[in-house]
Amino acid sequence: MILQPKPPGFKDNVFTFSFSVDATADKVWSWLNDTKTFTDTQVWPWRVEFYHPESHEQAFDFKEGVLTNHHGPMVNFAGVLTKIEDNHYRDLQYTYGSYALNFRWFRPYRLEFKTDESNGQTTVTGILST
């Protein structure tokens, strides 16, 4: 299920990128699913936040249902982690109102990460759907 409806006339665009790391999938996954990877390197005035929906407290781990928002000038990516398969897959779906630059130009609705380990190397693939 996709959380963000698409306005009439909008076309799907999918951007894919990959890179390899000389590390096991466990090690890469722990880095990719650590909120500090995103929050400790923020540049003002942009900010990344993670919250548990039940407790309304800041989240320091990635679990299904955790809410996130990347926001700042000309950027608002509000979403929820919908599916996580340890060491392999994470699905972040952006909600209605997420945009970059302009609400009519760039409206992401999904960010997926996949990992694949082979011979001590892990390939990370990111898929951004707009």
pLDDT digits (tens, 9 = 90+) for 87-130: 899 999 999 889 999 887 888 999 999 999 999 899 999 999 98
In the numeric block, which tokens belong to residue 111? 């960010």
Of the candidates 83, 86, 87, the one whose C-alpha atom is nearest the C-alpha of residue 112 is: 83
Q: Which DSSP state fits 82?
A: E
Domain assignment present for residue 111? The answer is yes
CA distance 108 to 52: 22
Domain assignment present for residue 7? The answer is no
CA distance 30 to 81: 16
What CATH number is associated with residue 45? 3.30.530.20
Domain limits for position 63: 14-129
Domain assignment present for residue 114? The answer is yes
Question: How many structural domains compose the chain?
Answer: 1
Residues forming beta bridges with residue 72, ordered by sequence position: 75
Domain assignment present for residue 95? The answer is yes
Domain assignment present for residue 72? The answer is yes
Domain assignment present for residue 5? The answer is no
Helix/strand/coil percent split, the chain, to 5: 10, 45, 45
Distance of CA 22 to the CA centre of its chain: 22
pLDDT digits (tens, 9 = 90+) for 1-57: 667 777 777 788 999 999 999 999 999 999 998 899 889 988 999 999 999 999 989
Domain assignment present for residue 3? The answer is no
In the numeric block, which tokens belong to residue 64? 């299904």
